[in-house]
Structure 1
Amino acid sequence: MENLKKGQVIEIKIDNIGVEGDGVGRIEDFVVFVKNALPSEKVKAQISSVHKNFAKAELVEIIESSHFRKDPECPHYKNCGACDFMHIQYYKTLEFKKQFLFNNLKKIANIDFPKENIEIIGAENKLYYRNKVLQHVGEDKNGNLISGFYQKGTHHIIEVPNCKIQNSKANEIFDYIIKKANQLNIEPYDRKSKKGYLKQIGYRYSPRTQKFMLIFVTNTDNKKPLKKLVQSIEFKFGNIASIYMSVAGKDKDTLSNKNILLSGKQYLDIYLGKAIYKLLPDTFFQINSEQAEVMFKKIMSYLPFERLDTIWDLYGGVGAISFFLASEFRKILMFERNKNSIKIAKVNKKINFATNVEIVQADLDNCSFSEYEKPDVVVMDPPRSGVSQNIIDMLNRVKPKKIIFVSCDTATLARDMNKLKENYSIKKLSITDMFPQTHHVETVGMLERKEVLWMKKN
């Protein structure tokens, strides 16, 4: 829109909320996304960028406030990029997430699933729930080492001394690490010059054992700078199961698969239901243990009469879903591409005595699946990018009677369901709030083959 310029302050009425939590308003039918603004509010906002079909703006002043606005629990919320729903009453965040799913199914897949039939399972613990966090390490203006999260859309680190979504004990540990690292003159990594040493500090946490795995992401494999820090942490805290160094190098700003054990046990043990899982620093696993167990129980409830069936678990990872279901089902084939995940899945199979789970390493984008026993049920938890076309083609060809679809992105979920709707109908949808205080949505859908539904009716 030619009339809108960067830096311009506008007055705008907000009539909707976007899938990333920004308020949506219009100036002469031109869409403007306003950070932290809410539906029904009238606000002043400053334009931060103008694009062909929309503009983005920062909230300057609330003229008329929404009745479901609240004060965020975190004093760093305005600048930190980790949370984006903390200014909204919790019940309303659940309504928004349900609306995101409903809208994308209708818009992308032309599926008009009744909104009132979408079950939403709120979290009992809305704060301090994450079992894994990585904080970026940098320098403040005085040259002191700091840690925190990136400001949204930037690489500017916002210090968050008492993060409201990471484990409360981890806040204490991180605070100690930063103070001690400054005393020991440990050098932070500089992302502009690509020089320095320490890139991130992180943890994994096991709620049942109350033990931590601590992780230092570094630029090099030199262990010497961390030696005294590790000794100090072990002396100070009695709940550290292991301490790792993850060597990212210059080109990566997060965990790598080059993990060096500095102290303690090789794995951290996580328990969900009857299952136990051994995890390494870079192992993918659900970050909310309590809600993961709730979601896996929901999956099981969608399969009440399938205990003797053959189940395929696609994108199986280290076996999170497979081993949770293993004690209740006759046979499970777990498919995963990543060789490191396969290695840990085999360890998890052994400790869970899951002889009925067959682990298959396969490239899911190209595998023909023809050599494996035909599934009655397929469970799949793909990455955010969704299901590959090869999997879609296989499902439409093999036609299992049920598909359980787990997704962390409502748009790719809708896209993939659109490709399956000729042969399948959605029977149940549920959202488990895995990420309170954020816009992220975790969905479980149960699809049934249409001819099975026809036989039930007749």
Structure 2
Amino acid sequence: MASIMQCLYFSAGRCRSCSQMTRPYQQQLQGKAEHCAQLLAGHEQLRFLPPQPSVESGFRNKAKMVISGTSENPTIGILDADGHGVDLRHCGVCDPALRAAFPVIERFIRQLGLIPYDVPRRKGELKHVIITLAPSGQLMVRWVLRTKKHFVALRDSLPLFSKALPAAKVVSVNFLPEHKAVLEGSEEIVLSAAQTLPMELNGIGMHLRPQGFFQTNTPIAAALYRQAASWVRQLQPASVWDLYCGVGGFA
């Protein structure tokens, strides 16, 4: 009998982000493959390879967490329909290394008195914390603020933060002054000496900038790169264009 991933947040109705949670994974995979084939049915020359499966839990290398609540009792997760925080720090799709960073994030919110942004009231400062995990185990931690009110506190606390979370290779502050449903603004200040997070896959070294994109499932990204490399070896193209693909892993 096919197994179904269990999630207490989903069962309790606190989070419905994984909308296909009640379907066995193989059914999910087959359904997506069939949908893709339907969308491209007009291209009869295409040949579809079997879909590449993933592990069902702990696969995300990036956590985009909304900070809500209060400085003394922050929530790290998402917002409900009314704009109030739902704590998801034990989310099963996040890599355990990401989940291990959340207690440190919470401790620094309390210690520095960072004021979580209240979406319904449009008041507060700290909107999001975005954490990315490299294959090496190193982390990029990005604090997203409404204004520069807490910037000095975060900058001056960097030595303590680095000691509390040694894996944090890159630490930055992003500013999102507008009240809108986006994760980050255009202005970013890197606090750490390292400006980029090394992301090595299949023996190829890449560097992720704070506002750059990298596939959120590392083993699947590695499989995608291997498949692309196989096609290139077969076709021997004279040139390659890598467009809208983030760090340039396909190239």
Q: Same fold (TM over 0.5)?
A: yes
**Which of 73, 78, 88 is residue 6 of structure 2 equivalent to?**
73
- 1:281-300 aligned at under 5 Å gives the runs 281-300=210-229
Q: Find the counterpart in structure 2 of residue 218 from structure 1.
A: 145
- 1:290 to 1:251, Cα distance in 2 relative to 1, 3 A: same
- Pairwise CA distance, 1:189: 0.9
Q: Is the 8 A contact 2:82 2:120 kept in 1?
A: no
Q: Find the counterpart in structure 2 of residue 315 from structure 1.
A: 244
Q: Is the 8 A contact 2:3 2:25 kept in 1?
A: no
Q: Find the counterpart in structure 1 of residue 34 from structure 2.
A: 99
Counterpart of 1:86, as a letter, is M
- 1:135-154 aligned at under 5 Å gives the runs 135-139=65-69, 144-151=73-80
**Which of 297, 302, 306 is residue 231 of structure 2 equivalent to?**
302
Q: Is the 8 A contact 1:148 1:157 kept in 2?
A: yes
Q: Is the 8 A contact 1:217 1:255 kept in 2?
A: yes
List alignment gaps of at least 5 residues for structure 2: none
SS in 2 for 1:321: coil
- 1:200 to 1:308, Cα distance in 2 relative to 1, 3 A: closer
Q: Is the 8 A contact 2:128 2:144 kept in 1?
A: yes
- 1:89 to 1:179, Cα distance in 2 relative to 1, 3 A: same
Q: Is the 8 A contact 1:81 1:150 kept in 2?
A: no
- 1:229 to 1:167, Cα distance in 2 relative to 1, 3 A: farther
Equivalent-residue separation in structure 1 for 2:46 and 2:52 (angstroms) = 17
- 1:196 to 1:267, Cα distance in 2 relative to 1, 3 A: same
**Which of 107, 111, 118 is residue 179 of structure 1 equivalent to?**
107
- 1:402-417 aligned at under 5 Å gives the runs none
List alignment gaps of at least 5 residues for structure 1: 1-66, 323-458
Q: Is the 8 A contact 1:68 1:88 kept in 2?
A: no
Q: Is the 8 A contact 2:97 2:133 kept in 1?
A: no
Equivalent-residue separation in structure 2 for 1:225 and 1:133 (angstroms) = 23
Residues 1:280 and 2:209 aligned together: yes
Which is greater in Rg? 1
- 1:200-215 aligned at under 5 Å gives the runs 200-207=128-135, 209-215=136-142
- 1:131 to 1:270, Cα distance in 2 relative to 1, 3 A: same
Counterpart of 1:191, as a letter, is V
Equivalent-residue separation in structure 2 for 1:102 and 1:308 (angstroms) = 26
- 1:93 to 1:231, Cα distance in 2 relative to 1, 3 A: same
- Structure with more of its chain in strand, by fraction: 1
Residues 1:130 and 2:60 aligned together: yes
Equivalent-residue separation in structure 1 for 2:217 and 2:116 (angstroms) = 29
Equivalent-residue separation in structure 2 for 1:296 and 1:75 (angstroms) = 34
RMSD of equivalent CA atoms? 2.7
Equivalent-residue separation in structure 2 for 1:189 and 1:103 (angstroms) = 43
Q: Is the 8 A contact 1:215 1:281 kept in 2?
A: yes
Q: Find the counterpart in structure 2 of residue 17 from structure 1.
A: none
Counterpart of 2:146, as a letter, is N
Residue identity over aligned pairs, in percent, reads 21
Counterpart of 1:99, as a letter, is E
- 1:148 to 1:245, Cα distance in 2 relative to 1, 3 A: same
Equivalent-residue separation in structure 2 for 1:219 and 1:171 (angstroms) = 24
